[in-house]
Structure 1
Amino acid sequence: MGLQENLLRGIYAYGFEKPSAIQQRRIVPFCKGLDVIQQVQSETSKTASFCSGILQQLDYGSVA
Structure 2
Amino acid sequence: MVSFFKLLGIGYIFAILLLLWEIGDITFHAAATPYVLPFTIFALIGFLAFFLFVYFAPQEG
* TM-score above 0.5: no
TM-score range, shorter chain: 0.3 to 0.5
Greater share of residues in helix: 2
Q: TM-score, length-normalised on structure 2? A: 0.35
Q: Which of structures 1 and 2 has the bigger CA Rg?
A: 2
Q: TM-score, length-normalised on structure 1? A: 0.34
Greater relative CO, 1 or 2 (CA 8 Å, sep 6+) = 2
